[in-house]
Amino acid sequence: MDQSRFTIIIPSKIIDRNLINCEKKIRQYYKEIKILLALDEINDNTEFSVHTNKIVTGLVNVSEKRNMCFRQCKTDFLVFIDSDAYPDHPWLDKIESIFEQNQNIGACGGPNLSPDENDEEKKLISFIKKSYIVTQDVNLLKKIQSKGKFIHFLPTCNLIIKKSIIKNKDPFVKNLFSNEEISLNMNIKKFGYKIYYDPSIYVFHKDRNTKSYLRQRFIYGSEALKVFLKFPCRCSFNLMISTIPFTSILLLMCIFLLNIFNINIFVLNTYLFPLTALVIFL
């Protein structure tokens, strides 16, 4: 593998334990590969490799952080990974051969697995993320399948793209605060390229605690309609579907409150109450 052909982009608010661990794990397998850390600010003097550079982006979202790094990259391949993800093997070694064996491949990647945890709270979050309602293509992204295949979607916590397919524009829509990979995946296919899944290109992706996870899901849900209207596709439709349990709970709470105040709305009580109760139960 020619490490000079790759740049790894890692967005993070600050230099924290997750980011340090991610960079350290990558350096176990790739001593000379270029890494760009996109940070709101440099908050400490942690020593990184000479091949790791920091970019101060200010208070911008993850999409714009990646765009800013993209503009500085001169290498053939860009590797996107989250700061709370990390490899435990040389996961990039096959990338060059994958792109060379099929010129129509514009992006590739693999699973992002939950690491083994002793924390019961994170085990629960890991279990929840293995639901098809929560995770796109869950059987591919949360498990290691037996063989590679072409798919429609890969998240940016473990995604490699060929830089030449993105011409004269930023790869991410900067005004999206979540689900920015849906726009990138759609654009890759719009440019006439395919997305390839290889089970050997896996990383581990740390699970959040319950509070952080619920905050993340709330942000995802608040952007769901906007993403679907802007990028209508199977992935954005699935995102919309994933908001149904939460909206059902809100609607059920509203019905209860109306009944407490003796406000009887026939349609709500007769039709929506049993429907929302059924959705929540399912």
DSSP labels, 143-164: S--SS-EEES---TTEEEEEGG
Residues 195, 137: Cα–Cα separation, whole Å: 13
pTM for the predicted model, two decimal places:
0.79
pLDDT band at 132 (very low <50, low <70, confident <90, very high): low
Q: What is the Cα Rg of the chain in Å?
A: 21
Cα 95 from chain centre? 20
User: If one looks up domain 3-239 in CATH, what number appears?
Assistant: 3.90.550.10
- Looking at residue 165, its pLDDT comes to 87
Tell me the pLDDT tens digit for each residue of 57-108. Answer: 988 888 889 989 998 898 999 999 999 999 999 999 999 999 998 889 999 9
Distances (CA, A) of 266 to 211, 261, 278: 36, 15, 18
Give me the torsion for CA of 227, 140, 216, 166, rounded to 10°: -50
- Looking at residue 181, its pLDDT comes to 78
Tell me the pLDDT tens digit for each residue of 7-39. Answer: 999 999 999 999 999 999 999 999 999 999 999
pLDDT band at 269 (very low <50, low <70, confident <90, very high): low
Residue intervals in the chain for CATH 3.90.550.10: 3-239
